[in-house]
């Protein structure tokens, strides 16, 4: 992977993480318990899903670039 592809993948990863947090945060606040258990679970979910999403997007971008 060259430097440009790595930069694009890193950017996609950051954008995906921000979008996931922005989408999930209001839901968590609305349903949060006093001990913030929902917030902790959402952070864990974002940490698990963001790398997977970014890898899938990078794979799709590399496939499109290969044509």
Is the separation of the CB atoms in 32 and 15 below 8 Å? no
Instruction: Report yes or no on whether pTM surpasses 0.85.
Output: no
- pLDDT for position 11: 78
Tracing tokens 């006093």 back to the chain, one arrives at: 34
- List Cα–Cα distances, 46 to 4, 25, 40, 65, in angstroms: 26, 10, 10, 28
Is the separation of the CB atoms in 16 and 54 below 8 Å? yes
What's the whole-number mean pLDDT along residues 36-47?
67
What's the whole-number mean pLDDT along residues 8-13?
76
- pLDDT for position 67: 44
Other Cβ atoms less than 10 A from the Cβ of 16: the count is 20
pLDDT tens for 15-25 read 777 777 777 76
């Amino acid at each position: 992977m060259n430097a440009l592809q790595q930069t694009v993948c890193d950017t996609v990863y950051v954008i995906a993480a921000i979008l996931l947090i922005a989408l999930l945060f209001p839901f968590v606040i609305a349903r949060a318990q006093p001990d913030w258990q929902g917030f902790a679970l959402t952070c864990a979910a974002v940490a698990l899903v963001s790398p997977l999403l970014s890898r899938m997007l990078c794979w799709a971008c590399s496939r499109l670039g290969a044509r």
